[in-house]
């Protein structure tokens, strides 16, 4: 394995960046869940035990659906923000949508189509974010009936 030292260090730096991004996403999700759980029914164990169900059923059927209903809007908002912030990922050396658009504009065959390329990239961002927000809105309205 005669891998040059520079390539090994680049790999290690990319891995550290990936782990850091995953840790940030996990901490944000954890923050939303911990904020949601105090708003959940306090006496869930009493409700479930009065129905004759085991204690794990309170978590699965009472606490978790209520916590998800409270935390889904914030989690979807964070997901959309992370998706839009992928332009900042270029700092750790990964290739994102706007980086691909810039690479296309530099190509001689695409000279003069810069506006169209950026409009297409913007349309992709808008379509994805709009679809996710509409799905979240539908999910929230379905959970309101629960």
Give the residue numbers spanning the domain of 42.
5-144
Calculate what percentage of the chain has a pLDDT beyond 90. Answer: 2
Taking residues 15-40, what's their average pLDDT?
72
> Tens digit of pLDDT for each residue in 62-112?
777 777 777 777 778 777 777 777 666 655 544 677 778 888 888 888 888
**CA torsion sign, 60 to 62 to 63 to 65?**
positive
| Residue 86 CB contacts under 8 Å (≥ 6 apart), including other chains | 96, 97
Taking residues 47-54, what's their average pLDDT?
75
Structure letter (DSSP) for residue 58: I
Q: What is the pLDDT of residue 50?
A: 77
* Coil vs helix vs strand at 54: coil
Which pTM does this prediction carry?
Answer: 0.46
Closest CA to 94 of 20, 3, 4: 20
Q: What is the pLDDT of residue 121?
A: 86
Closest CA to 22 of 69, 70, 92: 92
Q: What stretches of 2-145 adopt beta strand conformation (E)? A: none
Q: How many domains does the chain have?
A: 1
| Whether 98 contacts 121, CB under 8 Å | yes
Taking residues 40-64, what's their average pLDDT?
72
Residue 137 pLDDT greater than 80, yes or no? yes
Taking residues 123-144, what's their average pLDDT?
84
| Residue 79 CB contacts under 8 Å (≥ 6 apart), including other chains | 132
* Coil vs helix vs strand at 97: helix
Structure letter (DSSP) for residue 60: I
Question: Residue 22 maps to which CATH number?
Answer: 1.10.3720.10
Burial of 126 (0-12, 13-18, 19+ CB in 10 A): exposed
Q: What is the pLDDT of residue 15?
A: 77
């Amino acid at each position: 394995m005669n891998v040059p030292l520079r390539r090994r260090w680049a790999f290690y730096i990319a891995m550290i960046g990936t782990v850091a991004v995953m840790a940030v996403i996990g901490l944000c999700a954890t923050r939303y869940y911990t904020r949601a759980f105090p708003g959940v029914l306090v006496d869930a164990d009493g409700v479930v035990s009065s129905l004759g169900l085991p204690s794990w059923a309170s978590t699965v059927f009472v606490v978790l659906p209520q916590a998800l209903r409270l935390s889904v809007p914030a989690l979807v908002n964070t997901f959309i923000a992370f998706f839009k912030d992928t332009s900042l990922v270029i700092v750790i050396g990964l290739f994102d949508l706007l980086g691909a658009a810039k690479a296309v504009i530099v190509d001689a065959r695409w000279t003069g189509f810069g506006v169209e390329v950026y409009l297409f990239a913007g349309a992709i961002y808008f379509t994805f974010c709009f679809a996710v927000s509409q799905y979240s809105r539908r999910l929230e309205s379905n959970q309101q009936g629960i």
